[in-house]
Amino acid sequence: MHTRTVFFVSDGTGITAETFGNAILAQFEFKPRHVRMPFIDSVDKAHQVVRQVNHTAELEGRKPVVFTTLVNVEILKVIEEGCKGMLLDMFGTFVRPLEIELGMKSSHRIGRFSDVSKSKEYHDRIEAINYSLAHDDGQSNRDLEQADVILVGVSRSGKTPTSLYLAMQHGLKAANYPLIPDDFERQQLPPALVPHRKKIFGLTIQPERLREIRNERRPDSRYAALDNCRMEVAEAEAMMRRAGIRWLSTTTKSIEEIATTILQEIRPERLEY
């Protein structure tokens, strides 16, 4: 049961407001109800926001938290004057002091993604996503020379979500391959990967956690049995050590942490903007 409602109000997609707001909310032990209100780009829409926030305040008997990234001063003023929530204006907090410090006006561009579809970075990111989808779970051996990174590990160790995050967030072409019993019997990496050893990064996981994840997919199966999980993890780690592959455990790490660690190892320049 949520204890408070949090609104993310933006004149664009709301992604910036929500990402920043969630980073702050993560410091507190409570579960809010999230309401994203994107494309608030007129005074009429601002009044609708005020009505919804104030209605929520009346129903819950406490102030909603309202994160905003609104560029238009007139629209923001409607919310500032009428809203009965706790208003956190992120642009007002950061952009205006920066204007003073830098001695220049910001562009006041509405919407972070207003012209992104025309940029090379955007098209590269779409290409990376398509590549990662085509090379998910060892589906294809083609064009591996184009890969920025090839993730290996046992089934359900986090390869697919990490690959897609690297593609979507950082524009990396990420292939991933499961290490399976046939590989363990040969005690060798899949043959298609050997020429690309320098691009390989391994993911491992504690057997107990792996069992939990696999059991959700195939309850009470040999695939999810603890002894099988222990065997697969031990064999995979031994193989990675023999091959000199860098690897990390995903057991207690978020996708963001895993991806950042991989980037630090293989493409540190992607952490600079």
Cβ distance 201 to 150 under 8 Å? yes
> Is residue 211 a known part of a binding site?
no
Across 28-128, where does the E strand assignment appear? 33-37, 65-69, 86-89
Side-chain half-sphere of 213: how many Cα atoms within 13 Å? Answer: 14
Mark residue 248 as left, alpha or beta (left: phi above 0; alpha: psi -120 to 50; beta: remaining): beta
> Is residue 242 a known part of a binding site?
no
> Is residue 21 a known part of a binding site?
no
pLDDT digits (tens, 9 = 90+) for 197-227: 999 999 999 999 999 999 999 999 999 999 9
Record the pTM: 0.71
> Is residue 31 a known part of a binding site?
no
pLDDT digits (tens, 9 = 90+) for 33-85: 999 999 999 999 999 999 999 999 999 999 999 999 998 889 999 999 999 99
